[in-house]
Amino acid sequence: MYYRLTKMKFDSSRRDEFYAYADSVRDQLKALGAQSIFVVEVNEGSSFTIAAYESKEDADKAGPQVKEILGGMAQFMTAPPEASEGEVTWEM
């Protein structure tokens, strides 16, 4: 498995709009080939999106569409998204 983790900071006063946008692109997200996508809020206005892919190649193939979707979220963000990614090296 290959994971892409994206740290996002957003305007907490627009939280409902932020998630409504995510819901509106749900079908686009499903078409990316990700095994799963989760959003974890770690603080008010700060979250991590965790996307699991079968391989790096699948994650790379989804990249352009992910950037387009994140571009639509720019109106809610207070800082540019920060992405990290890698292979699973241990699991339980």
Confidence of residue 29 (pLDDT cuts 50, 70, 90): confident
Q: pTM of the prediction?
A: 0.87
Examine residue 13 and state whether it is found in any structural domain, yes or no. Answer: yes
pLDDT tens profile 38-51: 999 999 999 999 99
CATH code: domain of residue 9: 3.30.70.100
How far is it, in rounded angstroms, from Cα 23 to Cα 88? 28
Residue 79 structural domain: 2-87
The residues pairing with 77 across neighbouring beta strands, listed in sequence order, are 10
Among 73, 17, 66, 79, which residue's Cα sits nearest to residue 37?
66
Q: Determine, yes or no, domain membership for 92.
A: no
Decide: helix, strand or coil at residue 82. Answer: strand
Residue 74 lies inside a defined structural domain of this protein: yes
Tell me the pLDDT tens digit for each residue of 50-85.
Answer: 999 999 999 999 999 999 988 999 999 999 999 999
- The SS3 assignment for 62 reads helix
Q: How many domains does the chain have?
A: 1
